[in-house]
């Protein structure tokens, strides 16, 4: 059951522009959301998170937005850099560490 | 602080065999989670152990099992291997709540 969906398998942006990665979820019990970044041959690394009591969280170039009514979250990267090229996974949790992931979006940032 | 260590990095097994994968969490982390990653499916949650007890479980058949030792190290076992079990198996540890910190995975190929 795909409770977390990333409908865009890939995204390509120009260096310096904004990258927007989207994620939808179906389980209204999810109360904590995370984004992970994955390079080939490495495990995912934690990027940024947001709890359901907030609608925005910023960390440097990365901002996560949460729209609970639409069950939608997005990750904004501004400005995008070539080193940001990776697969980005959205994840959601309803309790403890029972965390569900989306299928991932491959971001390519072109110089 | 050392990260999450998974061994072996690569495994090739034959259909019908069984396999055991190992995971050493970050020192001090009591929670270990296991995920299966296949192309297009993202990370599928297998199970989570906390203080030697299985705390959460995903929707995988009983051929997939795990355990956690008193030092928090964990093993995952897959019996009667099928071709569809070929995947990257990722282990992640945490203090008990998100975020999870992932290892680099074990690539299992079933022939």
Mean of the per-residue pLDDT values for chain A? 94
Query: What percentage of chain A exceeds 90 in pLDDT?
Result: 90
Please tell me the distance in Å from B81's CA to the nearest CA on chain A: 23
Q: What confidence tens digit (pLDDT) does each residue in A25-47 have?
A: 999 999 999 999 999 888 999 99
Contact (CB, 8 A) for B5 and B30: no
| Residues whose CB is less than 8 angstroms from the CB of residue B94 and which lie 6 or more positions away in sequence, other chains included | A97, B29, B31, B33, B100, B101
- pLDDT value of position A1: 63
pLDDT level of residue B42 (50, 70, 90 thresholds): confident
> Measured between alpha carbons, how far apart are the two ends of chain A, in Å?
38
CB B42 within 8 A of CB A89: yes
Q: Under a CB-based contact definition with an 8 Å cutoff, are residues B77 and B85 in contact?
A: no
Q: Which residues of B touch A105 (CB under 8 A)?
A: none
Among the ranges given (A82-91, A92-101, B40-49, B94-103), the one the predictor scored with the smallest mean pLDDT:
A92-101
Decide if B76 contacts B66 (C-beta within 8 A).
Answer: yes
Residue A91 forms beta bridges with which residues? A34, A101
Burial of B75 (0-12, 13-18, 19+ CB in 10 A): middle
> Rounded to 5 degrees, what are φ and ψ at A37?
-120, 140
Do B20 and B76 contact (CB within 8 A), yes or no?
A: yes
Q: Least CA distance to B94: which residue of chain A?
A: A97
Is the pLDDT score of A3 beyond 70? Answer: yes
Supply the pLDDT for residue B2: 77
* Chain B interface mutation, best of A33, A35, A44, A95, highest count of B Cβ atoms under 10 Å: A44
Highest mean pLDDT of the ranges A16-25, B41-50, B96-105: A16-25
Query: Given this model, what pLDDT does residue B1 score?
Result: 66
């Amino acid at each position: 059951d795909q409770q977390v969906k990333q409908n865009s398998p890939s995204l390509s942006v120009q260096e310096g522009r904004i990258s927007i990665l989207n994620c939808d979820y179906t389980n209204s019990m999810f109360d904590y959301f995370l984004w992970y970044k994955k390079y080939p041959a490495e495990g995912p690394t934690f990027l940024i998170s947001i709890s359901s009591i907030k609608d925005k969280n910023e960390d440097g170039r990365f901002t996560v937005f949460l729209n609970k009514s639409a069950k939608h979250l997005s990750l904004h990267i501004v400005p995008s850099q070539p080193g940001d090229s990776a697969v980005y996974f959205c994840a959601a949790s309803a309790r403890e560490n029972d965390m569900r992931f989306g299928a991932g979006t491959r971001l390519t940032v072109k110089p | 602080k050392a990260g999450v260590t998974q061994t072996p990095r690569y495994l090739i097994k034959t259909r019908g065999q069984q396999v055991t994968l190992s995971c050493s969490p970050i020192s001090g982390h009591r929670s270990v989670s296991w995920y299966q990653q296949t192309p297009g499916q993202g990370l599928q949650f297998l199970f989570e152990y906390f203080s030697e007890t299985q705390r959460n479980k995903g929707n995988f058949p009983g051929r997939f099992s795990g355990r956690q030792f008193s030092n928090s190290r964990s093993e995952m076992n897959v019996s009667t291997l099928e071709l569809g079990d070929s995947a990257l198996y990722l282990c992640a540890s945490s203090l008990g709540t998100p975020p999870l910190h992932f290892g680099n995975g074990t690539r299992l190929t079933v022939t």
